[in-house]
């Protein structure tokens, strides 16, 4: 079973690339930490209560909460039915990278998406996502604009804005990324995990290469 980590700033296009990967590959599972945490917040669970204050402030959620979520999610994945796992949003601190290794997870590749801070701010102020399947879309007139205004192309559910996409929260998320997440890339390199640079615009043949 392969393990792939998309890596990049908030709004870099990690979720967009993941949608393209999984659209044609039902045997790939996505473990989205942000998604797991947002679900916990909306369901009002104990984990959600712990995570909410951090997420609302654009801060990273404490490592022990996140590592617990990763362990729980991995336990539900049936390894024999899965070709690959996409770890969306893990590891985001050096100590999470250490915990990843301790859990016996050895990623096959890190897919780094680079975008400027200006692009992040522009993209996140115009991002909407599906309230049901969580696919990301853009309000800008680009490739990622929904075919029908306000409706998910894939499942037809309404599109909504994410609570943490307010400009001041986006600035805080970028600052957390630079301070705590960017250094993780060097740790992953030191772990001899292959690092590949890409964009969220990757087409199917590029995606085949990325996953090989």
Question: In the complex, which residues of this chain contact ligand AP5 (CB under 6 A)?
Answer: 8, 10-16, 33-34, 37, 54-55, 58-61, 66, 89-90, 92, 96, 123, 127, 136-138, 142, 144, 164, 173, 199-201
Of Mg ion, ligand AP5, none, which one does residue 200 interact with (CB within 5 to 8 Å by kind)?
ligand AP5
Cβ atoms of 188 and 110 closer than 8 Å: yes
Cβ atoms of 120 and 11 closer than 8 Å: yes
| Tokens, residue 27 | 């045997």
C-beta of 81 vs 179, nearer to ligand AP5:
179
13 binds Mg ion (CB under 5 A): no
| Identified binder of Mg ion from the candidate list 13, 15, 58, 84, rule CB under 5 A | 15
Active-site residue among 25, 162, 171, 206? 162
Q: Is 109 a catalytic residue?
A: no
Contacts of residue 117, Cβ cutoff 8 Å, sequence gap at least 6: 9, 174
Angle of CA points 165, 67, 14, to nearest 5°: 40
Cβ atoms of 165 and 127 closer than 8 Å: yes
Q: Which residues are known to be catalytic? A: 14, 92, 127, 162, 173
Name the residues that contact Mg ion, by CB under 5 A: 14-15
């Amino acid at each position: 079973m392969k393990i792939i980590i998309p890596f990049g700033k908030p709004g870099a296009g990690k979720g967009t690339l993941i949608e393209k990967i999984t659209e044609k590959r039902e045997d790939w599972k996505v473990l989205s930490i942000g998604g797991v945490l947002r679900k916990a917040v909306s369901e009002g669970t104990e984990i959600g209560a712990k995570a909410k204050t951090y997420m609302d402030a654009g801060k990273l959620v404490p490592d022990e909460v996140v590592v617990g979520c990763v362990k729980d999610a991995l336990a539900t994945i049936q390894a024999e039915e899965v070709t690959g796992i996409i770890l969306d949003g893990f590891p985001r601190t050096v100590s999470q990278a250490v915990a990843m290794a301790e859990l016996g997870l050895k990623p096959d590749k890190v897919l780094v998406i680079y975008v400027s801070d200006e692009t992040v701010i522009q993209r996140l102020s115009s991002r909407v996502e599906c309230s049901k399947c969580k696919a990301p879309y853009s309000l800008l007139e680009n490739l990622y604009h929904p075919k029908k205004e306000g409706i998910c192309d894939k499942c037809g559910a309404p599109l909504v804005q994410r609570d943490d996409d307010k400009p001041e929260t986006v600035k805080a998320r970028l600052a957390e990324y630079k301070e705590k997440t960017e250094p993780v890339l060097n740790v992953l390199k030191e772990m001899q995990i292959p690092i590949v640079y890409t964009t969220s615009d990757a087409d199917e043949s590029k995606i085949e290469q990325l996953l090989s």
